[in-house]
Each structure stands twice: as structure tokens, then as C-alpha cells.
Amino acid sequence: MTLAAIHATASGAARAYAQATSGAAGQGASGFGATLQHALEGAVEMGRQADAKAAEAASGGGNLTDVVAAVSKAELALQTTVAIRDRVVQAYQDIMRMPI
């Protein structure tokens, strides 16, 4: 990899980071809490989409493949959310056990 390619890759990464942080700042909040809230809202929205697809299929108008894909995405989002929650609780408990 040449020096110009490394610089271009680093510049692209810096631009992507700046866009991600400016998007969170534009919403009035930034940091870990805002990122976590955005992820939770996305997981809830995926659940709603899966419910809508299932209801559409139950009424005879949906594609079964779309329903399965939507439910799988919602399940994965829920599993990810639970894993993050477990890690946050574990980190909190570790902090509380630290001697002062």
C-alpha cells in the first residue's frame, strides 16, 4: 500500500467519523447515550416492521419470504439489544465492586 493510499484511507475514515458524530450532534445529543438510544429506536422500528409484515401476510396479501426476513431482522436486533444491556449491567456491577 502506498503512502497516498494510506492517506486516502485515513481521510475517508476521518470523514466517516465526522459525519457520524455530526449526525448525532444535529439531533441535539451526542455520545454513547445518543448512540444507544438510536440503536434501541432502530430495534423497536424493526419489530414494528415485522409485525406489519406478519399482519399483511395473515390477511393474505404479503409475501412469506418478506415476513421471515423481517422477523429475522427483528430477532437479531432484539438479541443485540439484550447483549448490549447485559454488558452495560455487567460493567456497572464491576464498577460498583471496585474498592474506593
pTM: 0.60
What per-residue confidence (pLDDT) applies to 31?
81
Indicate the residue type of 30: S
Q: In the chain, what is the straight-line distance between the N-terminal and C-terminal CA atoms, in Å?
A: 49
Indicate the residue type of 13: A
Q: Predicted confidence band at 37 (pLDDT cuts at 50, 70, 90)?
A: confident
Of 70 and 28, the one with more pLDDT:
70
What per-residue confidence (pLDDT) applies to 17?
59
Write out the three cell numbers for 8.
486516502
Angle between helix 32-58 and 64-97 (nearest 10): 150
Write out the three cell numbers for 46.
424493526
Rounded Cα gap, residues 33 and 46, in angstroms: 20
What per-residue confidence (pLDDT) applies to 19?
63
Contact 43, 82 (CB under 8 A): no
Rounded Cα gap, residues 46 and 79, in angstroms: 12
